[in-house]
Amino acid sequence: MNEAQHRSILTLALMAAFADGDKDERERAQIKRIADSLAGDGVLDVAALYQDVLLKRVTIDTAVAALTTTEARQLAYEMAVCVCDADGVQSLSERGFLDALRNALGLTSLDVEAHTQQAEAIAAVPLAAMAAATSSLGEAELEKVILNASIVNGALELLPESIATMAIIPLQMKLVYRIGKSYGFELDRGHIKDFLATAGVGLTSQYLEQAGRKLLGGLLGAIGGGLLRGVGRQAVSSGMSFASTYAIGHVARRYYAGGRTLSAQMLRETFEGMHGEARGLSTRYLPQMQEQARTLNVSTILDTVRNS
């Protein structure tokens, strides 16, 4: 896949991120940060793409022009679906955007039905189904829960399918739910989203960062050898998801153990500190992520979200 196709896919993903018209300032700031970060890591100026989308200097029709292969068009649509579903089931405006995109790409409903249904099903899994009743867990048990969740999410990031990357977000929400419940708090999806946003973890922006790096690294959408094909790329890709999940888990443990008294600034600072520490740990646990990835199948991603 060439640079022009990468540019088109990321442009469409950014358009999908703003399709609902309902991103708060925290999420907008995170999306901009991700665009700046991706731009700094390669030859593609993602920050400029962000500005083009924000200022409406690009349309769906112009963005799809470079997508001349069936594989590139399919990947562009699948990634846009996952962006729309990253923070929950699709809104009416997001569905309208995806319908327009599908038509512009020349795809039929049959072409996209399976992926769309799977993404919507993952986004719609209720928290109660995502985590069975959890009694109070000891510190050692919580540490194990957090580490295992981090390894699973790192393993998911090794898979070349866009839907695998999307599954990381509900699994992180499940982790927060289990930790909160362990300390006696009954959490809903809205609270968890706000907790993550306050800590500096946007749902849409996190998917954009993870999928964007995989795309630019040649992992996203790779067929035949995309999985486990290079330790260097694996470490970068899976290490991000391991680190973010590990940091989220430990920040949640501190927050709910303390009766939810941490300020917004303390939540952000704690997350940033834990994230830096976790990035160092990710290399140590890469072999476990690789082994876990060998047991995962994209066709059973929904079961993974429900039952992990």
pLDDT tens for residues 90-149?
A: 889 999 999 999 999 999 988 899 899 999 988 888 776 544 545 567 788 899 999 999
Q: Considering the chain, what is the average pLDDT of its residues?
A: 85
The pLDDT value recorded for residue 205 is 86
Domain segments of the chain: what residues?
Answer: 3-123, 126-307
Alpha-carbon gap, residue 72 to 172, rounded angstroms? 29
The predicted-structure confidence for 168-198, as pLDDT tens digits, reads as follows: 999 999 999 999 989 989 888 899 999 999 9
DSSP assignment of 284-296, as one string?
TTHHHHHHHHHH-
The pLDDT value recorded for residue 128 is 65
pTM of the model: 0.86
Residue 65 has pLDDT above 80, yes or no: yes
The pLDDT value recorded for residue 230 is 44
The pLDDT value recorded for residue 95 is 94
The pLDDT value recorded for residue 232 is 47
% of the chain residues with pLDDT over 90: 44
The predicted-structure confidence for 207-239, as pLDDT tens digits, reads as follows: 888 888 888 777 676 544 444 444 445 455 568
Least confident of 59-63, 98-102, 223-227, 273-277: 223-227
Sequence-ordered list of residues with C-beta below 8 angstroms from that of 36, at least 6 positions apart, any chain: 46, 47, 50
List phi, psi (to 5°) of 19: -65, -30
Alpha-carbon gap, residue 285 to 150, rounded angstroms? 9
The pLDDT value recorded for residue 248 is 96
The pLDDT value recorded for residue 240 is 86
List phi, psi (to 5°) of 297: -135, 130
The count of C-alpha atoms lying within 13 angstroms of the C-alpha of 167, restricted to the half-sphere facing its C-beta, is 32
Q: What is the mean pLDDT of residues 280-289?
A: 91
The pLDDT value recorded for residue 161 is 84
Structural contact between residues 20 and 91, judged by C-beta atoms closer than 8 angstroms:
yes
Alpha-carbon gap, residue 244 to 274, rounded angstroms? 9
The predicted-structure confidence for 146-164, as pLDDT tens digits, reads as follows: 999 999 999 998 888 888 8
CATH fold label, 3-123: TerB-like (1.10.3680)
Compute CA 48 distance to the chain's CA centroid, rounded to the nearest angstrom: 22
